[in-house]
Structure 1
Amino acid sequence: MYQRLINYLKSYKKATITLGELENLVPGNYSYNTFAESIMQLIDDNILIKKNPKITNGKEVPLPYKFGINKYELRREHIDNIQRYALNISEEIDLQEYFNLSEEVWNKDLPYIHKINEYIEKNGLPKDYVTPQERSFNIAKDEKWIAEKGGKKLLERIKLWEKLNIIDSTEPLMLAVNPRQFSKAKYCHLVVENKATFMALLDVLQDTEFTSLIFGSGWKIVGNINMLNRQLGIKGTSRIFYFGDLDNEGISIWNSLNEKVCANLAVEFYRELIKKPYSQGKETQQKNDKALKNFTSFFYNEEKTKLEEILKNGGYLPQEALNKDELGHIWRNTKWV
């Protein structure tokens, strides 16, 4: 009964409450004396303050008809919890706003505050600027957390938004074009994750049916891809292909891009890539099961098994595992559409 009353009072907005309102909270199987004992305990704990204590209901355990609510005392445990937690996290995280917010908000945000603290303790404040998707993936292992799931609001609340160097606006794409393809009604574009691969394919672009070659620059492509038609001045149907590093993060980048604009995997590049010996060193990358399932759906069963084995063993294959001649041969000789 006592805890039931406490929970109600925590969400109660007014500064005073009547005896009748409190009695309405009592289930039918509770006696008046049990209820009265809980009220007296709340008075002893300085949570309820008697108003006009001489005027009571006249029962065996007399209670006044009105009480004041000591909001500070009611929140003392909550405040103490925040203060204790603040002593054990990075000083870059400001929890001041939570002293005025509900326990519900605190409990909802706490797992993410813990992830943010882990990120800062491990990496410090970032010096580079990245997209919301990349920073979100690095912190919460969920590329949508900042932009779509309340992450930005939380980061602003703890005074970290400006410190995390997040690019919150669209930037121009870095791309090369094939002018001969502009007269067509349908356009193909190849996005590659890394600069070295972009440079290796640059001279091959004119020998392909592709309208453009785009340097994705990791996660930046997810935020900037909507600039494509505007920069090229095209209005026809565009088909986008993507080729990135074969690791969990590279797969998550593609998956986010695919959800935004429907990006096909440039499968033939990956088919040649998985023939190469893979390297170790990405064991700490977070696996995105949904992204991996979507990614492997483009491959035959044997290839799918090999891909999953590489990632399961903490392996990875960067785009650069394919040399310039191999990249050019694949792009020129594959039937893409």
Structure 2
Amino acid sequence: MDKIKKELIAFGKRTINLNELEEVIKPYKHTYEDFSSTILQLEEDNIISMVKSKGRTTRKPSLAKQYRIDKSALTENYHKELQYYRAQLDPSISIDKYYGNPSDWKTDLPYILKVDEYLKKNFYPTDKVPAPERSYELVGDEKWITENSGKSLLEKINVYDKLNIIPVSDPMMFAINPLKLAESKQLHIIVENKTTYQALLPVITETEFSTLVYGSGKKVIKSIEQFELQYPIKATHQFFYFGDIDREGINIWYSLTKQLEVKLAIPFYLECLKKEAALGKGYQKSNGEAEDKFIRFFPENVREQISTLLKNGKYHPQETLNTNELQKVWRESFWRN
């Protein structure tokens, strides 16, 4: 019944006809007897009430042809349940995000209780351990954090950052500029493709940058988690990103911005936009939010150019710039604020 109530909370309208109710209940109740008894129980609990003008069916037991859903009654019980658990759980566990989104509560609750049990027994750990080890300690499943929903759940209840978890991902691949290791503010540039990385590598010591990171396409979205462990230099770190001017490249950059501040390496992009665009990326999926945020970084006189380029399925690969052009831009552009 809890799953059915959750479906009714999520139902987009205040009224629901019998056919729509059947679609909601069918996955859980497979006979008319079970279906009708569930409907009558919901009526008795004042969760749904008959729309009198629509009448009732002639089949026994008789059901209304249309019902009005009392969503306040549904959420009242749900909120009481949340309030009960809020009083029982470790104070550091936040369940605020479940108030506006009940759909995941029942699925997540068993794991939340396991996390609560762990915290009450062990407090927050002071030692850093890899995600599978911490995952097994928390819920008895070493893959829960890395391969299932564990990381998102721990973030949702505001405990992930306190559990001293070492992310399990491929190491970052980067080159170091030894001349810049002592800088108090350090610059780092992530490039999407191997060709660009190889072209820039020979002149790294002639630039303002402390590292040149090979993003390897989407892999950097995960490997960036390793940066602090692989580069334990105490400084203010500013990241730049240079990728293909296509939807895939934009989405990689946008995913990175969800984890840390990553500016666009505008001088490289502007140099690419001087070249003739290539055709052939019309199949890539559009992410309007990512593209809008990307375009806003550019001067107004080129925003329309980028927008039109994407709409027409065109793109600029990083390789549109040759080695000399890449090196010149990196060496001669002004990168510090």
* Interval of TM-score (by shorter of Structure 1 and Structure 2): 0.5 to 0.7
**2:306 and 2:40 mapped to 1: Cα distance?**
66
Q: Deviations over 1:160-218 (max 9, x none)?
A: xxxxxxxx941101110011111111111010000000000001100011110000000
- Change in 2 beyond 3 A, CA 1:281/1:181: same
1:217–1:4 distance in 2 versus 1, CA, 3 Å? closer
Tell me how far apart the structure 1 counterparts of residues 295 and 225 of structure 2 sit (CA, whole Å): 26
Deviation at 1:275, TM superposition (A): 0.3
Question: Mind listing any 5+ residue stretches in structure 1 that lack a counterpart?
Answer: 43-103, 106-145, 153-167
User: Which residue, 59, 63, 86 being the options, matches 1:38?
Assistant: 59
Q: Distance in 1 between matches of 2:277 and 2:20?
A: 59
- Residue 239 of structure 1 corresponds to 238
1:289 aligns with 2:312: no
* Amino acid of the structure 2 residue aligned with 1:276: K
Instruction: Report the CA distance between 1:233 and its aligned residue.
Output: 1.8
> Whose Rg is larger?
1
Higher alpha-carbon deviation: 278-287 or 168-177: 168-177
Aligned residues: 219
Equivalences for residues 141-220 of structure 1 within 5 A: 169-220=168-219
Q: Which residue of 1 aligns with 2:309?
A: 310
Give the superposition deviation at 1:28.
7.4
In structure 2, relative to structure 1, the CA distance for the partners of 1:214 and 1:7 (3 Å cut) is: closer
Provide the rounded CA distance (Å) in 1 between the counterparts of 2:180 and 2:288. Answer: 37
Are 2:273 and 1:250 equivalent residues in the alignment? no
Q: 1:94-121 deviations in whole A, cap 9, x for unaligned?
A: xxxxxxxxxx99xxxxxxxxxxxxxxxx
Equivalent residues of 1:191, 1:241 under 8 A apart: yes
Partner residue, 1:263: 262
Cα separation, 2, equivalents of 1:279 and 1:19 = 59
Q: SS of the counterpart of 2:294?
A: helix
| Equivalent residue, structure 1, for 2:224 | 225
Q: Is the 8 A contact 2:176 2:211 kept in 1?
A: yes
Deviations 1:126-172 (A, max 9, x none): xxxxxxxxxxxxxxxxxxxx98999x9xxxxxxxxxxxxxxx94110
* Aligned counterparts of 1:316 and 1:19: Cα–Cα separation in 2: 56
The separation in 2 between residues aligned to 1:240 and 1:227, in whole angstroms, is 14
**Structure 2 residues not aligned, in runs of 5+:** 1-16, 64-102, 105-145, 153-166
- So what's the TM-score if we normalise by structure 2? 0.56
- 1: CA distance between counterparts of 2:196 and 2:24? 61
**Are 2:56 and 2:62, in contact at CA under 8 Å, matched by a contact in 1?**
no
Q: Would the alpha carbon gap of residues 38 and 231 (structure 1) be closer, same or farther in structure 2, given more than 3 Å must change?
A: same
Q: 1:12 to 1:333 in 2, by over 3 A?
A: same
Identity %: 36
Q: 302-311 or 22-31: which moved more?
A: 22-31
Q: TM-score, normalised by structure 1?
A: 0.56
Q: CA RMSD in A?
A: 3.8
Q: CA deviation at 1:246?
A: 0.8
Q: Please give the alpha-carbon distance, in whole angstroms, between the structure 2 residues aligned to 1:305 and 1:269.
A: 18
> Which residue identity lines up with residue 291 of structure 2 in the other structure?
L
